[in-house]
Structure 1
């Protein structure tokens, strides 16, 4: 029995991961964790929501029961508490400094929330954690965005999951809910690299490719505890 935990489903990659896992027979249940619930119903989807920074204090079992109108998720609750289900967590939480309003608020979302989610996931028995980081992630970087992403990676490593997948996509292509002028310009300028199949690790990558690479990686056996998956490898895995 396999269960997926997904957070960041309001974003490009998170929503793609959710759709792919809901269709994947390998996963019996999907737990969506977010600040708000999605306007989506599915027989194997349960949603729990609230302040992710306080997730360690959530009574997640009761929250699942509240969602369980037909009693379908009682088996899930029991299997998590008994350790009988293999749990994979997928995290694509993230924002931009502009959207967050400041570097401090950006760090809360891109670092603190991710670590809060990961710590909780580990506490309920999650074996594999797959995280959407960024091209250029480096805790020693002079670029604030890359520095935060690198610090997140280092802190996730310290949690010692059985497997940690760190996905570093380049510019993401897809249908965003919000308009980002800089990314729109960059995608227009860089799309020829996709068409011409040049500079694999730098050229833009589609949201569904990242999602597929995450799901495929989660379902594979790995001899490594930590794997960094650059944008070029993401494209290869998702073929």
Structure 2
């Protein structure tokens, strides 16, 4: 399986990249981003691309892939809706529309989040925009597309969030993680499980297109 990964320098993307590189069935990973990951691996190829609104100039590099794991995202904190929409919706759909044209047999997996608003009408700005993005992606003629809605994601294997406030939060929460997992198992996952669940869905499919946190953990448990 050949995989394209967006957002490989973010916390979730780092975890997904790690699982892809460890998986013997993954032949190649193309990491697409505005900056390089800094990693070196025989399976890893990198495409540094600055204009995420237009991928026409790099189409040749995006052809011949079986799956796309789209982990690119930003925190909505302090952002105007117009700016958040540009990064969350416009960039995602620009990539997805290019990829479905070049790789119609591709499985596309998008990282959204618990609480995403499929009606696009709710009061939460981020949830509306994420919902709009999910809805648009599911209309594209990919072989399959799945929307991942993880809850609280525990970073594993030395992975850290690129967002300072999240890093601080995870550091504070780390001693409480076993207790939180015991009290709220349906809300907790980790970077390993997200990556393994994506690989499972790309290989074998998933029972539904909108995958909440328990669904993600279930898929990860059956990864092979």
Which bin holds the TM-score, normalised by the shorter protein? 0.7 to 0.9
Match of 2:150 among 169, 176, 179: 169
1:133-172: per-residue Cα shift (whole Å, max 9, x none)? 1111112222111111100000001112111111111122
Contact (CA 8 Å) 2:161, 2:167: kept in 1 or not?
no
Distance 2:27 2:71 in 1: 21
Match of 1:145 among 122, 126, 139: 126
Match of 1:230 among 204, 212, 216: 212
Paired residue secondary structure (1:54):
coil
Paired residue secondary structure (2:4):
strand
Count of residue pairs the alignment pairs up: 211
| Structure 2 unaligned residues grouped into runs of 5+ | none
Paired residue secondary structure (1:30):
strand
Distance 1:169 1:161 in 2: 22
Distance 1:3 1:176 in 2: 26
What's the counterpart of residue 130 of structure 1? 109
Answer yes or no: is 1:178 the counterpart of 2:163. yes
Could you say if the C-alpha distance between residues 167 and 59 of structure 1 is closer, same or farther in structure 2, counting changes exceeding 3 Å? closer
TM-score, structure 2 as length reference: 0.84
What's the counterpart of residue 202 of structure 2? 218
Paired residue secondary structure (2:163):
coil
Match of 2:89 among 89, 111, 119: 111
| Structure 1 unaligned residues grouped into runs of 5+ | 65-76
Bigger radius of gyration, 1 or 2?
A: 1
Could you say if the C-alpha distance between residues 143 and 21 of structure 1 is closer, same or farther in structure 2, counting changes exceeding 3 Å? same
Alpha-carbon RMSD across the aligned residues, in angstroms, is: 2.5
Paired residue secondary structure (2:209):
strand
Contact (CA 8 Å) 1:187, 1:204: kept in 2 or not?
no
Distance 1:182 1:39 in 2: 20
